[in-house]
Chain A
Amino acid sequence: MAASPLPPPDPRFVLRGTQSAVHALHFFGGAEGQGQPLLLSGSLSGLVHIWSLQTRRAVATLDGHRGQCVTWLHSLPQGHQLLSQGRDLKLCLWDLAEGRNAVVDSMRLESMGFCRSTVLARGQGHWMLAMPGRGSDEVQILEMPSKTSVCTLKPEADAKPGMPMCLELWQAESSPRPLLLAGYEDGSVALWDVSERKVCSRVACHTEPVMGFDFDSQKARGVSGSAEKALAVWSLDEQQALQVCKTHELTNPGIADVKIRPDRKILATAGWDHRVRVFHWRTMKPLAVLSFHSATVHCVAFAANGLLAAGSGDQRISIWSLYPISSDSSTPLSGHVEDTEVGAHALA
């Protein structure tokens, strides 16, 4: 490549107005051909903002966490329902259909940790929820919406992995058994077989707590970031054993969040060094360093159409458009963005 590299990109636009640090981001709706998605952001002050990407304004604000930080946002397959997790130890279920914004249900979290919950759709109207449990190293699995506790995943007594830091429920295409990936405080990532309540495999990826990871179920490969100066890429083989493929050294330590784009071409990391880094997912070649924010980037999210959002402690959300998705190759990751009928009109 003889030509000099492209100059570093600028954000497509910036959303201001949360008036506190942004800790959670989630794209809502807007699968292909359905117009612009909505962006949900959760802030330190406990508010959830709903942003229209067309007008670039907040269209609604949800206040349900009594001024405590919102750490996780997720929309349910039914589309008009939103889950939010807050540091007030509450998990709220919102009904957003037809402009409503009311809490329809809420449940109490048992753990004071920073661990974000995860859900897995299980057929019409049913879903499975994994959240940190009462014991510091436990993960609790619930059947929703009935809130029946399925089981508690507790590591063996001698393992001592510390608290779970991040969770992801998923299901292999070939089998109906739900699996849970969990990143722990000691830097290891474990694969749980939920129905058998046992650890299939566990691998030490980092020496510091795992702060975020994402998993590509098609390639059976995942990437995790931690407080240390490296990203780890690991894979799952036929025997459901995890192994570290490689690590990628970073310039500055600390990764708060990792997300793979739905088309599995690139991934983005949210760095404590105020920068968002973009990598080529297959080769882990660094593609871009997005330096716009002036404080720690807490979260990143990809929309189905390829937009990248990053939320930071400087109270801004930057929206980036890099490496546009070619339409033929976009097969969304399961569990990331679901087909929904919710659009901006639903909230108008």
Chain B
Amino acid sequence: MDPALSAVRLTVREAIHTLSSCEDGGRVLSTLGSLRRYLSGAENPALPGEQEEFARVHFSALLRCLVGRLSPGWLGLLPDGQVEELWASFFLEGPADQAFLVLMESVEGAAGPSFRLMKVAQLLARFLSAGRMAAVMEGQCRQVTELASPLLQETLLAEVVGLPDRLGNRLQRENLDAFLPQNYFPLLGEEMMRALQAVVDSLRGGWDCSVSFLSQVLGKACVRGRQKEMLGVLVPRLTTLTQGSCLWQRVCWRLVERVPDRAVEALLTGLVEVAAGPEVLSRLLGNLVMKNKKAQFVVTRKLLFLQYQYSTPMLQSLLGYLATDSQRRPLLVQALKGLLETWGSCSAVRHAPLAQQCYISKAVLICLALLGEAELQDSRDELLTSLMAGVKSRLDSSLPVVRRLGMIVAEVASARLHPEGPPLKFQYEEDELSREMLALAAPRPAADSPLEASPVITPEAAETPGRGSVDGGVPQALPEGSGSDLDSDDELVPYDMSGDQELKRSKAPTYVRDCVEALTSSEDWERWEAALRALEALVIRNPAAAREVSVELAKVLLHLEEKTSVEGFEGLRQRALVAVVVTDPAPVAEYLTSQFYALNFSLRQRMDILDVLTLAAQELSRPGRRPKAPQCDPPGPAPPPGSAVAPAWRAVVEERIRNKTRRFSQGSARRGRDAGANQFSSVAGYFFFPLIQHFDRPLVTFDLLGEDQLVLGRLAHTLGALMYLAVNTTVAVTMGKALLEFVWTLRFHSDAYVRRGLLSAVSSVLLSVPAERLLADLPDELLETRSWLAGECQAPAAWARRVVGGWCSGHRGTGQRRGPRTVTSPPSVHEMVPGGGVGTQLLSSHFGEVLQEDPREGAPMWETVCLFWKILYLL
């Protein structure tokens, strides 16, 4: 062997010498040709031993020499790029890892863009497109026995994963498409698949292999945030391959297991996102969570509790993965315990963001659906304890969504944990979220259902259900009445039959006193209902008669209970009460406000009082009283948007009139608002001051500053609304003063709803009290409020500044901070409209209650802008 070895060395040395000095094309060509003998797959190859020695010892040196010679003149020694072709073939056909390293080395060694750099880059692109990267990785996989040098592997790993960065840095603007990360990583994924294929093949052939290099590449790419590109290629392929083959499954599990710890989280999130359903996940991961602590932590803690941005299907497949294997199921029980504990923690309810609460609730529901009866029974007490705590603190919350979450989870969980007991049933409105949650709670079919729905799917699987449903589909029944005997009967057009209601036996009372009597003493429920329905109209029609019994009537209505199921009872009662208050404001308001702090009322009744007062104040302050349709929505925290729908016929009629009418006038046809005295002005005090006086005196049954914070929030909103409605009244200044004091005492309240109410109250003070009075009469309160707002509510203040600033600079050219103190004359509507749309939306969403309760329909926009001028100035 010795002489042969030296022969190779001699040849190579000689060749390198020739190549580095010779300028004769023919000699270069023949030298290179002679060296090609040592590459595997050449014609008349050298002995295997020589080839091996060449590859192991001399190849890198030769490649470095070749790169070093690279210049336009050298390549031009022979025509038709023969030299270049031959030159490239060494890189493309020789041992891939060395070629790759040399190429990367020379790329990094280049000082800046140059001919050589471009050539090398192009060669590297060819190298990639020729699939040599697979060869690089394959090489590393095979070296299990030869104890591959860790240093080399480390370098190689860094080069493989860092290739896009390095080339991007070097080539700057001349970068090639192949090196862009969005192209490179999918390619790397493909190459990795090929390498894996080779691994599987050689395992089948009985040769040992190791996938740890591949795992490292995968992990590193994932850490760099390239999960989508890599896994988008790998997962669908692996999904299909692992379906039939145990070997592939084992390789795949091994691949995931060998990923370094720091990359586990990145890899797992990527996998859970891409994999279609728990079955697939289980096939790809195996029992990884049991073997790897880090993986277990990621799956059972991090993805469930902290990373709440993931989608529901992802959550489903994650938990489904835990449920698919009996070894992993204890983890699922443990996860459910943990989830319920978090769910039940009072402080989490108060401080966790809503999205996270939703996410955890969903996870709880999914867990419950996945777990079996026996598993749940084992830890029933523990689960029930956390559940009850959570339900309690959720039902206490003043946010409707949180309450509803509590109700849904409580219903589902109690049905699962306590199947023998009577079912728990809450009344809540169905919406998208609740439907989604309830769907999650339904146990899923045994089949891998998300697989069918997902886009990553094998063609056969996609075809089968489709065909099945076409074949097995039941033909739709023909609509009835489309029989063959068409005769002229069809011309009988039905009349409107909407008036065909159930017959009510008793007649409605005709006098207010009759109503009172019917409501208090009647055992005849039809009469009772008829009285309730008739009351509002009667009170409005006959105010004098209503005034005689107003307080008595208010008392009756306030204490009225829904004894029979009357449709729209709440609305009827509320409207009747509002009508009574409007008819006789002072005494009734006095009565209602005194009852608000009375002993024996439910929270519901107290909140009704607040609603009624607000609606009545709104009614009173409306110019041109008596709306066509009475308000029926309570001024709750979230009135449904777009509930008022203009009747279609009116639009049609108006359109027709406009078409047929010619107007001889200049300017717009817009009519001014009807002017009228604000009737609220004289009675605002009766509404406002009794309410604000006693809030800090707790009763046995009613503690505003304690746990009845929902009512406190309502109270703050109501006071704000009353303040707003008292605009332009003399009492407004006093009211404003009192309200600012009220806000000041409560400004650090822990409930978000209360704080929101306070903000709305502040803004209505700013809106309603004239600016000069504001500054002259209540400077201290104003300063306090200002410091509070500036300190505690940075965000809204900054936001207000931004919005108003944008509006000013955009539309009025008065972007300076020190604007006029008040906007004395409203800018014309034309000026307001273009920028107004978004701004108004923002305003109304932030200071929602005030603006939504705005009684003067479509309040002039300049008022709101005015408000922000004030805030801006004051801050």
Contacts and interface: CB of A to CB of B under 8 A. Distances in A.
A291 B499 contact: yes
Interface string B482-494: 0000011100111
A67 interface: no
Looking at chain A, what size class is its interface with the partner chain? 20 to 34
B497 to A, nearest CB: 5
A282 B484 CA distance: 13
Contacts, number: 57
A287 B491 CA distance: 11
A347 to B, nearest CB: 35
A346 to B, nearest CB: 35
Nearest to A288: B495
B481 interface: yes
B668 interface: no
Interface string A265-306: 110000001110000101101111101000000000000000
A282 B495 contact: no
Interface in B485-512: 487-489, 492-497, 499-503
A288 B497 contact: yes
Given A5-B495, A9-B495, A289 B489 contact: no
A285 B480 CA distance: 12
Interface string A1-32: 10011111100000000000000000000000
Interface residues of B, number: 15
A246 to B, nearest CB: 10
Nearest to B648: A4
B495 A6 contact: yes
Given A280-B489, A282-B489, A323-B492, A8 B497 contact: yes
Interface in A233-281: 251-252, 265-266, 273-275, 280
A251 B494 contact: no
B495 A251 contact: no
B495 A265 contact: no
Given A273-B503, A274-B503, A286 B492 contact: no
A263 to B, nearest CB: 10
A114 to B, nearest CB: 22
A326 B481 CA distance: 23
B489 A5 contact: no
Interface in B832-852: none
A171 to B, nearest CB: 26
B500 A289 contact: yes
Contacts of B501: 251
Interface in B247-281: none
Contacts of A266: 492
Interface string A206-239: 0000000000000000000000000000000000
Contact of A6 (B487, B488, B493, B502): B493
A206 B250 CA distance: 72
A80 to B, nearest CB: 36
Contacts of B487: 282
A252 B503 contact: yes
Interface of B: 481, 487-489, 492-497, 499-503
27 contacts: A4-B496, A5-B493, A5-B494, A5-B496, A6-B494, A6-B495, A6-B496, A7-B496, A8-B496, A9-B495, A251-B502, A265-B489, A266-B492, A273-B503, A275-B500, A280-B489, A280-B492, A283-B489, A285-B494, A286-B494, A287-B493, A288-B495, A288-B497, A289-B499, A289-B500, A323-B492, A329-B488
Given A1-B493, A8-B499, A288-B497, 20 more contacts: A4-B496, A5-B493, A6-B493, A6-B495, A7-B496, A8-B495, A8-B497, A9-B495, A252-B502, A265-B492, A273-B503, A274-B503, A282-B487, A287-B492, A287-B493, A287-B494, A287-B495, A288-B495, A323-B492, A329-B488
Top 5 nearest A-B pairs (CB, nearest first) are A5-B496, A288-B495, A273-B503, A289-B500, A287-B494
